Structure 1
Amino acid sequence: MGRYVLRRLLQLVPVFIGTTFLIYWLVWSLPGDPFAGKCGDRPCPDAYIAVMRERFHLDEPLVVQYGRYLWNLLQGDFGETFRGLEVGELISNAYPNTIRLAVVALLIEAVIGLAAGVLTGLRGRGFLDNLTLVSTLFLISLPVFVTGFALQIFFGFELGWIKTTVAKSPAPWEQLIAPGFVLGSLSMAYVTRLTRTSIAENKHADFVRTAVAKGLPQRRVVGVHLLRNSAIPVVTFLGTDLGALMGGAIVTEGIFDIKGIGNLVFDGIIGKDGLIVTGVVTLLVLVYLLSNLLVDLLYAVLDPRIRYD
């Protein structure tokens, strides 16, 4: 197992370099002047633009710029914005809110999705199964901002059960339940359908019939044998979904006024501040890579037939 983990970590290095270079190239090779609008309604003086381009090394070849950025990144330096603010400090202030929101969304989609999927997969076709399929299809069809505004208006303004905005930082856990449900609603529908299909397929497998023939209680048959073997595709989806939840939280954070990296990326795009966008996306790449590694290790825990020698 140790050699496998070491090998996978070494494999992540070229993937990280390749993806971050692609991100850097896409951000900094876009046409347009990054200093447009920095001087108000009037265009910036040529001397100011020359000084800023030299300060941020924009007059160097793109490969040299990326090499300098990667070297600083390995030392924990994400650079600074055109306004002179440290990108690392901005990320450290916004990241806890987004990771909390993503964790709440992941827990909601895992608990509700797994429970609904197991229940409908065991019962088979019927009223509950049809209701679950219709409900999940409804959630899949709705855009996230529609779900967010609907919950905000009904449970916030009409009933007063939830806070319509989460202005505090770090955001309290209890105030992130509604935004977490909105953020994880689409994935929750997919987890429910994926679990339902996997349970329905494996409940007639030989290992389940053998466990029933041994006289094991149904709770153990479902919880130990059936669920563990059916959870591999679900765990794969949940593991890769963590990065997607963090990267796709721009709309949810905007609706509930959460000061997270979604808002940070949006401000960076509007302000044409490429270092903010590059830094946040680089962080998301790391989350994706590490979550994929964790999912691979969980395979051996769920299925004893899988061994990494």
Structure 2
Amino acid sequence: MGRYVLRRLLQLIPVFVGTTFLIYVLVWAVPGDPFAGMCGERRCEPGFIQMMTEKYNMDENIVVQYFLYLGNLLQGDFGTTFSGLSVGELIELRYPVSVQLALVAVGIEAVIGLAAGILTGLYGRGFLDNLVLVATLFLISIPVFVTGFVLQILMGFELEWFPPVVGTDPSFYDLLLPGFVLGSLSMAYVSRLTRTSIAENTRADYMRTALAKGQPKRRIVGVHLLRNSAIPVLTFLGTDLGSLMGGAIVTEGIFGIPGVGGLVYEAILQKEGVTVTGVVVLLVIVFLLMNLIIDLLYAVLDPRIRYD
């Protein structure tokens, strides 16, 4: 196991360098003047443009720029914005809220999605199965911003079950409604994926062997069927965590959550490439670590998988 973990960590290095280089090039190679608008309605002085260009190494080749940025990044420096603010401090202020929101969303989609998928997968066709299929199709077909506005008005303003706007220091209860909105689409996919996986594994050879041996149905379902069916669902949930943190711009905007999504949106409007690059690089790190954790959990769920 230790040798496998070390090998996987070494494999993450070229993946990290390749993805971050691609992100850096896509952000900084965009045509246009990144300093346009910094001086208000009038044009910036040539001396100011020259100073900013040298400060952010934009007079160098894009490859040189990237490796200079990577060297600072390895020291924990995510750079500074054009207005002189530390990107690391901005992320430190916004990131915890986005992590909490993403964890709540993943928890909701895991609990509700798995429960619906297991019930429909075990008991086959019927009223419950049709209800879940229609409900998940309904969630998939409706945009997230529509779901967010409807639930905010209905459960926030009309029924007053949840706070319609989340503050800077939200509690778990405050994040339940935006967490449901953020995870609603993935919840539908988790339900359908679980249902399909269970239905497929029910007809597997090891299930027939367990039945032939006379094992109790509870053990067959709990030990054999559910553990093997959970592998594709676990993969989806693990990778979805990073997607939710980076894709929560709409949800955070609707509920007034000061998270990373809003930070990226503001940076795009202000053409702050340093902030966009810093946040996306952090999300890449989250994706890589989550993939490593998922790979290690495979051996826990499926005894046939061994890392020797």
Task: Say yes or no: TM over 0.5.
Answer: yes
Match of 2:45?
Answer: 45
Match of 1:276?
Answer: 275
Q: Counterparts in 2 of 1:1-309, with a 5 A limit?
A: 1-169=1-169, 171-309=170-308
Specify every segment of 5 or more residues in structure 1 that has no aligned partner in the other structure, as ranges.
none
Distance 1:28 1:187 in 2: 32
**SS of residue in 2 equivalent to 1:174:** coil
Distance 2:164 2:214 in 1: 52
Distance 1:48 1:149 in 2: 44
Distance 1:250 1:186 in 2: 15
RMSD in angstroms over aligned alpha carbons?
1.1
Task: Compute the displacement of 1:49 (Å).
Answer: 1.0
What whole-Å deviation, never above 9, does each CA across 1:39-89 have from its counterpart, x for those lacking one?
111111111111111122211211111111000000000010001000000
Distance 1:162 1:286 in 2: 33
What whole-Å deviation, never above 9, does each CA across 1:68-121 have from its counterpart, x for those lacking one?
100000000001000100000000110000000110011111111111000001
Task: Compute the displacement of 1:205 (Å).
Answer: 2.8
Task: Compute the displacement of 1:35 (Å).
Answer: 0.9
Distance 2:218 2:278 in 1: 47
What TM-score do the two structures reach when normalised by structure 1?
0.97
Amino acid at match of 1:37: G
Amino acid at match of 1:286: I
Give the fraction of aligned pairs with identical amino acids, expressed as a percent.
Answer: 71
Amino acid at match of 1:87: V
Amino acid at match of 2:230: A
Distance 2:58 2:32 in 1: 13
What whole-Å deviation, never above 9, does each CA across 1:179-220 have from its counterpart, x for those lacking one?
111111111000000100111122233333443444544333
Amino acid at match of 1:122: L
Between the two proteins, the alignment pairs up a number of residues equal to: 308
Distance 1:67 1:210 in 2: 56
Distance 2:7 2:200 in 1: 34
Distance 2:259 2:211 in 1: 49
Distance 1:165 1:219 in 2: 44
Distance 1:105 1:215 in 2: 40
Distance 1:205 1:53 in 2: 62
Specify every segment of 5 or more residues in structure 2 that has no aligned partner in the other structure, as ranges.
none
What TM-score do the two structures reach when normalised by structure 2?
0.97
Distance 1:174 1:215 in 2: 46
Distance 1:218 1:174 in 2: 38
Amino acid at match of 2:38: K
Amino acid at match of 2:138: F
Of stretches 116-125 and 43-52 in structure 1, the one that deviates more from structure 2 is 43-52
Amino acid at match of 1:94: R
Task: Compute the displacement of 1:225 (Å).
Answer: 1.4
**SS of residue in 2 equivalent to 1:13:** helix
Distance 1:202 1:57 in 2: 55
Of stretches 40-49 and 217-226 in structure 1, the one that deviates more from structure 2 is 217-226
Distance 2:4 2:160 in 1: 52
Distance 2:237 2:34 in 1: 37
Distance 2:198 2:55 in 1: 58
Distance 1:50 1:265 in 2: 26
What whole-Å deviation, never above 9, does each CA across 1:104-151 have from its counterpart, x for those lacking one?
011111111111000001111111101100100110001110110011
Of stretches 28-37 and 218-227 in structure 1, the one that deviates more from structure 2 is 218-227
